[in-house]
Structure 1
Amino acid sequence: MSTISALRPRRSLPVTFGVAAVLGTSLVLPGLASAAPVLAYGPYTCAQNFVWREAFDGDTVCVSPGERDTARAENGQASARRSPTGGAYGPDTCLQGFVWREARPTDHVCVDPSRRDRAVAQNSEGASHLVDATQLPAGKVATRSELIAGGGRIYLDGGKGLTPGGRVEFYAAGVNGTAVRPLGTRTADGKGELPRENTALAQVRCELKRDETATIVVLDVRTGVATTAGTSYAYSC
């Protein structure tokens, strides 16, 4: 028995698929992928009943309309909640009882502490409120996959361009529905980078047809920006 045949899961996979599993690479099979639907507002188009938060220019985190209205109101009250005499954080110092909202690291709008916590939660929830997370643009994080009997393992292959010291969440999109599935979390180092790992980020069971792939989504929680880290056959049977 060849080495490739011995390592290949018993899923009636073509030989080329087994090679991809052994080498930890993803194969793109020509003629199998169907055209993705055109989204009205690009890859960050929100699902029904959600809208862009617009806490700052370019903020495309998807939230409820009420949360967008709250963010606008907070922006309108920003100057009234800053200390007129400055302080420890210069002209952006908040009045007592208020903190920076931090919908992104440079967001210094002063809000109630509970609203800062909510902004972080909104960032974390954003990927699950998109119409189609498989259409997100590629980022600077990579993953690789390994097939095992009944499923596969997904590994982090390194990354950069993230918020230094920030939480990074990983999801799978395009697995039998529109909802994204959590895979795990990591913390970027002081340079905003992630190392290549040999410990699996996640182990999943197969659910897709063998010629279909899942898209790996990477969410930088400090900014709310979601991108992709390639595709994976780990869910393919």
Structure 2
Amino acid sequence: MNSEKTTPRGGTGHGVRVRRVLSLALSAVAVAAAGVAVEASAAFAAPYGAYTCKTGFVWREAVPGDQVCVSPEIRDRSAEENAWAASRREPGGGAWGPDTCKSGYVWRLVRPNDLVCVPPASRDQAYSDNYYSPYRLLAPASVPQGTIWTTTTQSPYNGGGHIFAKASSLWANTIVRFYLIYPDGSGPWVAGKPLQANAGGGIYSSDPRGQEFAFLGPVGHTKPSTVIAVEQATGLVTYAGTTTALMSFY
């Protein structure tokens, strides 16, 4: 059975915690017996998939497939807002079409096509939750590859690395932020500056490497750090590559 259906609240209920503790304990025994490296246990850290939330957070579920991690109160509020959506729209539509909100309400915009009418504070909350989404994941380095790719060009004499990004199939004009997960698992750490997708949902440049967003250095790890990217318009976190550069000095 799909874990999203059997654990709709992101895996933080009492029964779920008991099952997780038991599962983790059994997994740890198996790993030790097999002599598997510590890094391999990361698979057991996210029992509900790559977007498993840290303790205290649950999936928002404001729209289908919305796995941004939020407080339980925000998830409940989002469900209530969905239930009240029709009553907050102007009957017969208005200046912004059939989804025009009544006075005092605005579109929530957990995604650009989320036109549920809510108080302005709820739209601000949605923006904030999208912004902080990578910090609330239990294992952010395990997220899947998306449509954003990064490339590092090392400077000579161990002088650090310039990191570039290319992307496609993003929401038009959305902001993308980048973070590092260090080889020791720490992070996310902010990596450089945000980039903005164009009107076609792409990030491109005349440079075949893409747009530069960070200068990171000096090189210090023999193991690569994971680069993750976050699309502000949705809060979606995806894997974007690796780099052997370290702290951001952009």
Structure 1 residue 55 corresponds to structure 2 residue 46 = no
Q: 1:150 to 1:176 in 2, by over 3 A?
A: farther
Structure 1 residue 195 corresponds to structure 2 residue 207 = no
Structure-2 residue corresponding to 1:138: 145
Cα contact 1:134–1:174 (8 A) shared by 2: no
Number of residue equivalences: 205
Structure 1 residue 100 corresponds to structure 2 residue 112 = no
Larger displacement relative to structure 2 (215-224 or 193-202)? 193-202
Shift of 1:147: 3.4
Larger displacement relative to structure 2 (89-98 or 56-65)? 89-98
> What amino acid is the match of 1:204?
L
Larger displacement relative to structure 2 (68-77 or 98-107)? 68-77
Shift of 1:121: 1.4
Greater RCO between the two (CA within 8 Å, min separation 6)? Answer: 1
Query: C-alpha offsets along residues 60-90 of structure 1, whole Å, 9 cap, x if unaligned?
Result: 0011111111211211211111112211233
SS in 2 for 1:69: helix
Larger displacement relative to structure 2 (177-186 or 62-71)? 177-186
Where in structure 1 do 4 or more consecutive aligned residues deviate above 6 Å?
Answer: none
Report sequence identity in percent.
36
Structure-1 residue corresponding to 2:181: 173
Give the Cα separation in 2 of the matches to 1:136 and 1:154.
23
Structure 1 residue 213 corresponds to structure 2 residue 224 = yes
Which of 82, 88, 106 is matched with 1:81 structurally? 88
Instruction: Give the TM-score normalised by the residue count of structure 2.
Output: 0.74
Pick the structure with more strand per residue.
1
> What amino acid is the match of 2:242?
T
Q: 1:144 to 1:75 in 2, by over 3 A?
A: same
Instruction: Give the TM-score normalised by the residue count of structure 1.
Output: 0.78
Which of 129, 135, 141 is matched with 1:128 structurally? 135
Structure 1: unaligned runs, 5 residues or longer: 1-31
Structure 1 residue 40 corresponds to structure 2 residue 47 = yes
Give the Cα separation in 2 of the matches to 1:51 and 1:88.
36
Query: C-alpha offsets along residues 162-184 of structure 1, whole Å, 9 cap, x if unaligned?
Result: 11111111111235444311112
Which of 110, 115, 118 is matched with 1:111 structurally? 118
